[in-house]
Amino acid sequence: MAPRIVSVGTAVPATRVTQERVRELFTAQPGADRLAQRRIRAAFDAAAIETRHTVIAELGDGFPIGSTSGFLGQDGVLRMPTTGTRNDAYVRLAPPLSAEAARAAMTDAAAEASAITHVITVSCTGFFAPGPDYRLVRDLGLPATVERYHLGFIGCAAALPALRLAARICAAQPEAVVLVVCAELCSLHLTTSTDPQQIVAASVFADGAAAAVVTADPGIGGGGGLELDAFATALTSEGEDDMVWRIGDHGFEMVLSAEVPRIIGREIRGAVDRFLEGSPPPDAWAVHPGGRSVLDRVESGLELDPASLATSRAVLRDYGNMSSATVLFILRELLHDEAVGEGARIAGLAFGPGLTVESALMTRRMPRTAVVALDVEELAAVAAPGVSA
């Protein structure tokens, strides 16, 4: 059987913030002059985001007024913690979120801890060693012999390379059961700035984790899921300086220029045409929502029906851009979408620094029990064509 995603589990921090709440917090910062305030309002209002989740509890509406923490002072002024302080928070808060998403995926796949043979972790928002892969083995009680890999600092596109690695492992070892976990705490790197690129970053990024169980074993998940048919990587002809992720003294610094959507719009058609050459058009799309303008450019560049990106836009609206975890949130929705039936072809796209375009082609397979149930219903309809339920 082909390697496939059997299940996807997700997890988000308890603190849920509205776009308006964060927008007003940023416009109220001491360094925000009139021009900066206009830019902040424009960026936040155009993001097509309603809510996001964050590990920074004091950003939430319910945080006690006058309380203080490492990120927000009693006067409502955002602090500028050092990178070390931010990373300490990542070390403390990322592993529990990873474990929560992983448990959800394993439960959905009915995969016991003893069945997991490989772990692939993904993150670009923090570092430590022994790392996220080690912590996951310990926290979930996985066998000590599990083979572990960590894909770090790749950025928003990293989930698809992780799935590609999982598919390669399963193709070589059909009995393998691979747990892929992406966990990103982007809000730990929030900074107050009048720089337009930092304002855009603050308006879209959020926290979340997602996990997928990948295997070629037909005994896991009843044979259903998303078959991983093909992958591709492409570099755009320009954009090396337009999407950049660097480590600064006061957090990781995102460079996200206004050219990013335009570059994607110009080059997405060529990248996708090369990838899908000879294949029928996909029935569904899972496109990483780097922002509303990115989705708009993909939609126009590929001449897609607006409904094609409805799931990607819904995830952006409800969760924001959770970096690498986001595309797995979209795949989870498609796995549970009754309109995406047996044999449906799904194209996945994600974008990272470089600019890098990662692509995946998947086929929906229904669990055997679901297929049998459909066959019975079809036979009943043929046997009694004049009888309606």
The first and second tokens of residue 18, run together, are 């509205």
Tell me which of 124, 156, 170, 182 is the catalytic residue.
156
Give the 3-state secondary structure of residue 246.
strand
DSSP class of residue 281 equals P
Residue with tokens 């929705």: 333
Q: How many residues does the chain have?
A: 389
Q: Which of 166, 160, 162, 83 is nearest to 128 (CA)?
A: 83
Kindly calculate the radius of gyration of the chain based on its CA atoms and give it in whole angstroms. Answer: 22
Active site annotation includes 124: no
Neighbouring residues of 178: CB distance < 8 A, sequence distance ≥ 6: 116, 117, 118, 119, 120, 166, 169, 170, 213, 214, 215
Q: Which contacts of 41-46 are long-range, i.e. CB under 8 A and separated by 24 or more positions?
A: 43/196, 43/199, 43/200, 43/202, 43/203, 44/19, 44/20, 44/203, 45/19, 46/292, 46/293
Check: CB of residue 23 under 8 Å from CB of residue 44: yes
Q: How many whole angstroms separate alpha carbon 91 and alpha carbon 74? A: 25
Check: CB of residue 162 under 8 Å from CB of residue 120: yes
Catalytic positions: 156
